Amino acid sequence: MAKIGIYSLLTGRPGPSGYGSATTAEQVSQGVDATALTAIVTGGASGIGLETARVLALRGAHVVIAARNLNAANEARQAILKDVGDDARVDVLKLDLSSLNSVREFAEKFDALGIPLNILINNAGVMFCPFQLSADGIETQFATNHLGHFYLTNLLLDKMKQTARATGIEGRIVNLSSILHRNSYEEGIRFDKINDELSYHDKKAYGQSKLANILHANELSRRLQEEGANITVNSVHPGLIMTNLMRHSLLYSRIMHLLTWLLWKNVPQGAATTCYAALHPSLKGVTGKYFIDCNEYPASQQARDLTLAKKLWDFSTKLVDNSS
């Protein structure tokens, strides 16, 4: 298991996988033939989501960009076609992860396309938002970053299982988390205080949602292994990248960027670990792991807590059922 130190981050020195912080998404997917694969990328209209979608299309995959802003998503599609070529297979579907109704509608529309599903990349998210509730009455960062993806994944899981059985090709689910999962509330997930505005802390709430991403991946991985399904589930930290995700904390982010600029990645580097987890042949059969800079890395103790993961699964299921 890789140890990611400051020296490695600064120099881009490759880890055991042969890749490091300076590796780009194109480099990590070089030589991969994805023409038989169909992938959904949430938040694929901008930032590292767009770069992920572009590189998947570049390698031949049929990519479905799932995005809240259809205009931006269609512009992203045109940009990919211009870069990759008009024969690239890229579709766009509306998805607002803060609304469980929108998630359900997306899954229904995707199912109606009648296409397979090999790869699900749960990339979209919000960061450091002021306190607000989603359309379903759930704190927005938890609702968008975790619960929307939890529900989406569950709705698409049968399609992924069917595809894996019919094709014999391993399905892969990638949850984008963050190293800031270590900066959650003391108890990790505040099951009894998810919507408590008085004690809300924007950065700890973000950390909580990113911790939830890893716990979700680990519990789903365990369940799929138990079932014998040919699907892996892993979580990744993309790195520090200045994207639209920072829009609620521009001043804070710019100060942090000024103080730690040597540690920040560009967008092609930021999408590398996602594409590594989604495409690289060396990860066949690897599941329930956490990756930084395209190398396996230990997540926090809370993120590896099996009891906490099971409790979060049950809690999330109850939230979805109550909202439905």
Q: What angle do CA 220, 223, 229 make, to 5 degrees?
A: 100
Q: Are strands 290-292 and 295-296 parallel, antiparallel or unpaired?
A: antiparallel
Give the pLDDT of residue 252: 52
Residue at 202: amino acid letter: D
CA gap 124, 149 in Å, rounded? 9
Residues 221 and 232: beta-carbon distance below 8 Å: yes
Residue at 216: amino acid letter: H
Round the average pLDDT of the chain to a whole number and report it: 92
CA gap 238, 47 in Å, rounded? 11
Segment 151-207, tens digit of pLDDT: 999 999 999 999 999 999 999 999 999 999 999 999 999 999 999 999 999 999 999
Give the pLDDT of residue 143: 98
Give the pLDDT of residue 312: 98
DSSP string across 65-117: EEES-HHHHHHHHHHHHHHH-TT--EEEEE--TT-HHHHHHHHHHHHHHT---
Give the pLDDT of residue 240: 81
Q: Which residues are catalytic?
A: 200
Residue at 22: amino acid letter: A
Indicate the fold that domain 6-323 takes in CATH: Rossmann fold (3.40.50)
DSSP string across 186-250: TTBS-TT-TT-STT--HHHHHHHHHHHHHHHHHHHHHHHHHHT-SEEEEEEE---B-SGGGGGGH
Q: Is the pTM of this model over 0.85?
A: yes
Q: Which residues contact 85 (CB under 8 A, 6 or more apart)?
A: none
Low-confidence ranges of the chain (pLDDT < 50): 6-7, 246, 248, 257, 259, 261
